[in-house]
């Protein structure tokens, strides 16, 4: 059914995408922490997974795309305090703003946005099970996962023992191993919340994901996505938790990660203070321009923002050519070389170049029907990725 190959971070190579129970595809992508507005670094990741979900739909799959929203976090509590707001009120407002930003970017494929806060009980239950199994331990009000007891620790990030030793997590003296990560933290983020068998506190960041996915997607699912920076320790920790809890492996069949957005040679991030928010960007750029720009760079390559102007001009010329040719009567055409480029590890830059050349050539053909037939796969392909070249035509 499917010729789509995607790079799998776990194996380190391109693999044919084979869902567990076709035509259903279950996809989970880590959503942002809502301490501040969505920026272009986030936008790149979510535009990519939206385009991928659209393409899977076009291939005939029934995609269930789940995105969690981290609405409990130290940074959120700090930002709420600075704004003089209740943390849960603040995160509710920011979550609504985030979903609105997704909408304005035409990110339409997410089946369910799931805030983490209603799943704290499940995170506590999962932590208790890991303690029962002897895979976690308590120390000074914390509960840590004992990474020495999980043989596959480090597999996803391809880190050696020495590499792992250089990347210690959570510097709490009572820990057994440097890489042990917190399942429960003795930190009160919201007054009076949350009560656990280990005292008041909050769930660790990584267990928040398995608390959402195990009940909603089960012990195993098809695609887990996110930004590169989440591979270690976040996704590594999710594997350790989920596979230890359910005994089912692999927990995720296909791991897909998007590379960074850089600005002035640095990673775009809220903490570095160089983030361009989606709301700011959309004052001068359309959703189609932002989408076209990010899709003009392969998802596994770093993106710098310097190419935005060139991407805008390319899109404008493609729209002009598409309007000149006009829509084909026989839409729903096959995608041809456009689809073959997407099938090869979602090579959107190649697909876009092909569409651009095809439209340019079609716009020079005198016979209108022939021109339309020529242009149809390019227009249909772009539409599949969420860029409607005939919009407003
Ligand atoms: Zn996550």
pLDDT in tens, the chain (393 residues): 469 999 999 999 999 999 999 999 999 999 999 988 899 999 999 999 999 999 999 999 999 999 999 999 999 999 999 999 999 999 999 999 999 999 999 999 999 999 999 999 999 999 999 999 999 999 999 999 999 999 999 999 999 888 988 898 988 888 999 999 999 999 999 888 999 999 999 999 999 999 999 999 999 999 999 999 999 999 999 999 999 999 999 999 999 999 999 988 888 887 788 889 999 999 999 999 999 999 999 999 999 999 999 999 999 999 999 999 987 766 667 899 999 999 999 999 999 999 999 999 999 999 999 999 999 999 999 999 999 999 876
Q: Could you tell me the residue range of the domain that residue 256 belongs to? A: 19-263
Smallest Cα–Cα separation from 24: which of 250, 276, 253? Answer: 253
Structural domain contains residue 124: yes
Determine the distance separating the centroid of ligand 1 and the alpha carbon of 67, expressed in angstroms: 9
Q: Are residues 232 and 190 in the same domain?
A: yes
Determine the distance separating the centroid of ligand 1 and the alpha carbon of 31, expressed in angstroms: 7
Determine the distance separating the centroid of ligand 1 and the alpha carbon of 234, expressed in angstroms: 7
Q: Are residues 234 and 376 in the same domain?
A: no
Q: Are residues 254 and 294 in the same domain?
A: no
Q: Are residues 175 and 35 in the same domain?
A: yes
Determine the distance separating the centroid of ligand 1 and the alpha carbon of 389, expressed in angstroms: 34
Q: Are residues 24 and 160 in the same domain?
A: yes
Determine the distance separating the centroid of ligand 1 and the alpha carbon of 3, expressed in angstroms: 28
Domain boundary among the residues 217, 248, 263 is at 263
Determine the distance separating the centroid of ligand 1 and the alpha carbon of 355, expressed in angstroms: 35
Determine the distance separating the centroid of ligand 1 and the alpha carbon of 101, expressed in angstroms: 19
Q: Kindly report the CATH number assigned to the domain that includes residue 183.
A: 3.40.50.620
What is the three-state SS of 195-231?
CCCCCCCEECHHHHHHHHHHHHHCCCEEEEEEEHHHH
Determine the distance separating the centroid of ligand 1 and the alpha carbon of 357, expressed in angstroms: 39
Determine the distance separating the centroid of ligand 1 and the alpha carbon of 248, expressed in angstroms: 19
Q: Are residues 294 and 253 in the same domain?
A: no
Query: What's the full length of the chain, in residues?
Result: 393
Residue 332's pLDDT is 63
Structural domain contains residue 59: yes
Structural domain count, the chain: 2
Determine the distance separating the centroid of ligand 1 and the alpha carbon of 281, expressed in angstroms: 25
Residue 160's pLDDT is 87
> Token pair of 240, please?
């350790």
Q: Are residues 233 and 291 in the same domain?
A: no
Determine the distance separating the centroid of ligand 1 and the alpha carbon of 91, expressed in angstroms: 17
Structural domain contains residue 332: yes
- Report the alpha-carbon distance of residue 67 to residue 33 in Å, rounded: 12
CB 178 within 8 A of CB 136: no
Q: Are residues 253 and 327 in the same domain?
A: no
Determine the distance separating the centroid of ligand 1 and the alpha carbon of 65, expressed in angstroms: 14
Structural domain contains residue 143: yes
Q: Kindly report the CATH number assigned to the domain that includes residue 329.
A: 1.20.120
Structural domain contains residue 139: yes
Determine the distance separating the centroid of ligand 1 and the alpha carbon of 358, expressed in angstroms: 40
Structural domain contains residue 199: yes
Predicted model pTM: 0.96
Q: Are residues 48 and 116 in the same domain?
A: yes
Determine the distance separating the centroid of ligand 1 and the alpha carbon of 225, expressed in angstroms: 9
Q: Are residues 141 and 23 in the same domain?
A: yes
Determine the distance separating the centroid of ligand 1 and the alpha carbon of 40, expressed in angstroms: 18
Determine the distance separating the centroid of ligand 1 and the alpha carbon of 272, expressed in angstroms: 21
Determine the distance separating the centroid of ligand 1 and the alpha carbon of 204, expressed in angstroms: 11
Determine the distance separating the centroid of ligand 1 and the alpha carbon of 331, expressed in angstroms: 39
Determine the distance separating the centroid of ligand 1 and the alpha carbon of 221, expressed in angstroms: 15
Domain boundary among the residues 228, 263, 298 is at 263
Smallest Cα–Cα separation from 8: which of 161, 111, 212, 155? Answer: 155
Structural domain contains residue 168: yes
Determine the distance separating the centroid of ligand 1 and the alpha carbon of 203, expressed in angstroms: 13
* Coil/strand/helix, residue 262: strand
Q: Are residues 292 and 258 in the same domain?
A: no
Q: Are residues 89 and 176 in the same domain?
A: yes
Determine the distance separating the centroid of ligand 1 and the alpha carbon of 233, expressed in angstroms: 10
Smallest Cα–Cα separation from 387: which of 340, 338, 334, 344? Answer: 338
Structural domain contains residue 239: yes
Residue 15's pLDDT is 98
């Amino acid at each position: 059914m499917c010729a789509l190959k995607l790079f799998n971070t776990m194996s380190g190579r391109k693999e044919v995408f084979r869902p567990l129970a076709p035509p259903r595809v279950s996809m989970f992508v880590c959503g942002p922490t809502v301490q501040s507005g969505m920026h272009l670094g986030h936008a790149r990741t979510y535009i990519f997974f939206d385009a991928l979900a659209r393409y899977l739909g076009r291939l005939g799959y029934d995609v269930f795309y789940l995105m969690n929203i981290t609405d409990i976090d130290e940074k959120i509590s700090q930002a709420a305090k600075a704004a003089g707001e209740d943390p849960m009120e603040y995160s509710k407002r920011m979550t609504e703003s985030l979903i609105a930003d997704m909408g304005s970017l035409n990110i339409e494929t997410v089946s369910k946005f799931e805030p983490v806060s209603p799943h704290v009980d499940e995170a506590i239950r999962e932590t208790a099970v890991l303690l029962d199994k002897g895979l976690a331990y308590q120390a000074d009000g914390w509960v840590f996962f004992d990474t020495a007891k999980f043989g596959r620790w480090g597999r996803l990030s391809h880190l050696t023992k020495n590499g792992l030793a250089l990347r210690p997590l959570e510097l709490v003296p009572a820990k057994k191993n440097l890489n042990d990560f917190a399942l429960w933290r003795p930190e009160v983020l919201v007054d009076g919340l949350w009560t656990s068998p280990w005292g008041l506190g909050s769930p660790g960041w990584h267990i928040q994901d398995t608390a959402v996915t195990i009940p909603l997607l089960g012990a195993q699912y098809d695609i887990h996505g996110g930004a590169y920076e989440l591979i270690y320790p976040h996704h590594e920790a999710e594997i350790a938790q989920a596979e230890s809890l359910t005994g089912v492996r692999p927990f995720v069949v296909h791991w897909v990660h998007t590379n960074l957005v850089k600005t002035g040679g640095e990673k775009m991030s809220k903490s570095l203070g160089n983030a361009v928010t989606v709301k700011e960007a959309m004052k001068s750029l359309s959703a189609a321009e932002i989408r076209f720009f990010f899709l003009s760079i392969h998802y596994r390559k770093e993106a710098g923002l310097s190419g935005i102007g060139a991407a805008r001009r390319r899109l404008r010329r493609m729209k002009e050519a598409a309007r000149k040719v006009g829509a084909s009567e026989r839409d729903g055409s096959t995608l041809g070389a456009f689809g073959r480029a997407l099938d090869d590890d979602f090579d959107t830059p190649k697909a876009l170049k092909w569409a651009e050349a095809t439209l340019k050539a079609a716009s020079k053909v005198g016979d209108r029907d022939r021109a339309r037939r020529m242009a149809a796969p390019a227009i249909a392909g772009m539409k599949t990725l969420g860029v409607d070249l005939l919009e407003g035509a």
